[in-house]
Amino acid sequence: MILKEVQSHSAIRESTNFDSVHSVGILFDATGLDDRKAILHYAESLKKQDKKVKLLGYLNEKENQPNYTFDHFCNTELSWIGKNKSEKVEQFVRTDFDLLFCLSDAQSLVDIAARSIAKLRVGPSIQNTLAFDLMIETNSTNQRNFLDQVEFFTKKMNTQ
């Protein structure tokens, strides 16, 4: 089902150098406290570089945490076939980011990345090649390490 939806929409994709990026979307697994802290810290560092940052975190279970500083969704906001039922997710998908980072190979996050209209979608190396425009393989499961690798490679990209 997601394959048909991805193939039917036509987003404008383009190579983007990290230094020229104005807007960044970050999809991440927000279940672990350490990962949440690392991603929030990274998002703050991007904002200090005058980049507009939007976060969307996935939580295993619905938590009554109104003090989260990022949008999030959980399993209860997915249908039994994995289709999203969250307006926050749909808004994220429709946002025209210059650069989208997907920091997990979790299927719900990969599906969101695949449907995104971001100009450049970057994620982990996975079997679903429609989901990302650039895939990076790293031996570390540390999300911050992955972000450092993404930033390194996108800074090297020549857009001319």
Write out pLDDT tens, residues 81-140.
556 678 889 999 999 999 999 998 888 899 899 999 999 999 888 876 778 888 888 776
* Residue 83, pLDDT score: 66
Half-sphere exposure of 138 (CA within 13 A, CB side): 21
State the virtual CA torsion across 16, 93, 135, 142 in degrees, nearest 10.
110
Tell me the pTM. Answer: 0.85
* Residue 95, pLDDT score: 95
Task: Give mean pLDDT, residues 37-66.
Answer: 87
Residue 7 has pLDDT above 60, yes or no: no
| Domain annotation for the chain: domains and CATH numbers | 20-155 (3.40.50.2000)
Residue 154: pLDDT band (50, 70, 90) is confident
Residue 69 has pLDDT above 90, yes or no: no
Residue 80 has pLDDT above 60, yes or no: no
Half-sphere exposure of 25 (CA within 13 A, CB side): 28
